[in-house]
Amino acid sequence: MTSEAANCTATRWLSIIGIGEDGIVGLSPLAQRLISSAELVVGGKRHLDLAGDLIRGRRLAWPSPIAGALPEIRKHRGRPVVVLASGDPFHYGAGTMLLEQVPAAETLCLPQPSAFSLAAGRLGWSLQYVSIVSLHGRALEGIVRYLQPGARILALAWDGETAAKLAHLLVARGMGQSKIVVLENMAGPRERVRTTTASEFDLVDVAALNTIALEVAASPEATVLPLAPGLDDDLFENDGQLTKREVRAVTLSALAPRQGELLWDIGLGAGSISIEWLLRHPSLRAIGFEERPDRAARAARNAAALGTPDLQIVQSRAPEGFANLPRPDAVFIGGGLSDPGVLDAAWSALKPGGRLVANTVSIDSEARLIEAFQRHGGELVRLQASRAHRIGTMFAWRSGTPVTQWRARKP
């Protein structure tokens, strides 16, 4: 680190300092000096109290929402400002939000060990083999995708009730024997570590500041989401409008999700394509368009139950619902092809290099896909699966309705 980077200057005016439950004692001399010399110190009330003896300038506790403090921080540009955050500000902390407003070259970050690092140290776990999740300000169901037999998970809790709610979720999914360790107020004088199982959870007075460690144990009947696409149809609540398992797996392959991409799912139905898209990687995003309110609500329930509560649902008819939304990297059309404007509008919205996949079982809509294939190229595929069904004392094949699929990449 250069001498300029090691001190607050007009260039690096914003210092982002991690602070632990040990307060001032755990801070380096440089961090202590930056706090003492700052004109403005911003942080949660707990952070400001921990550093209270050092603060000489004005204190500003985070408002709700915390982004409301950003204009005040920007007004001090070029003058010393400190933002206090828990542990590592760039690990589920305020750092990312701040750097959306202030260039990295104007900041200096002095992190402390994150809650994940502290928890791993207490438990003797190797972080590279642990799934890391934040449930703070996020839906509890977001942890479902990580619930694999034998998995180790570290989760930041939202509050003192999170661990009990998580225990209830695990029991409901057939994972009641999973080990739960609740680590409270780590690295401070009130630190406490308690262990139980999901089925026997009886911890009370859990501190709001806590991290939860899980070792997942699944019964033979447990609901475990496989890591491959093509979830069992029975996992989706549906009214019959569901892309069936075999076709869904092929469709996900054709959509070819890549890190950070956005999917538009037109004719959301039960939400199965969007949900499986989101399950492929935590960085993926999806917007589903569904005109019927009952189906939109059903898709939202499926998304929560299957660990993708971040599915964004637009209750609107396509293509009217496309307005003012970010352009997609991939588009799936499972419904709405009867409207001649939907396919063209989706193709127009798609980013260059993006993929469009459309499925249909009707002859009329198939004609639209054939025309699109002739105009834009790509591939036209006929998909059909047959299943064995009992007929009396014997079995025979019963074929499902054939699906015509058009898949193309936009130049």
The yes-or-no verdict on residue 348 having pLDDT over 70 is: yes
Q: Which residue has better confidence, 9 or 393?
A: 393
CATH 3.40.1010.10: does it fit domain 14-112?
yes
Find all residues with CB under 8 Å of 185, minimum gap 6, and list them. Answer: 21, 191, 192, 207, 209, 210
| Residue that the structure tokens 């002095």 belong to | 110
Residue 116: what pLDDT? 97
Per-residue pLDDT of 46-100, as tens digits, reads 999 999 999 999 999 999 999 999 999 999 999 999 999 999 999 999 999 999 9
Q: Which residues are CB-neighbours of 296 under 8 A, at least 6 positions away?
A: 268, 288, 290, 313, 315
pLDDT-above-90 percentage for the chain: 95
Domain ranges for the chain:
14-112, 116-215, 233-409
Q: Quote the pLDDT of residue 1.
A: 44
pLDDT (mean) for 291-296: 96
Does a cis peptide bond (omega within 30 degrees of 0) precede residue 226?
no
Question: Candidates 3.30.565.10, 3.40.50.150, 3.40.50.620, 3.30.70.20; correct CATH number of 233-409?
Answer: 3.40.50.150
Please tell me the predicted confidence (pLDDT) of residue 237: 96
Q: 303-340 burial by CB neighbour count: b if 16+ within 10 A, else e?
A: bbbbbbbbbebbbeebbebbeeeeebbbbbbbbbbeee
Task: Please tell me the total number of residues recorded for the chain in this structure.
Answer: 411
Which CATH class name applies to 116-215? alpha beta
Report which of 142, 170, 152, 155 is spatially closest to residue 279, judged by C-alpha positions: 142
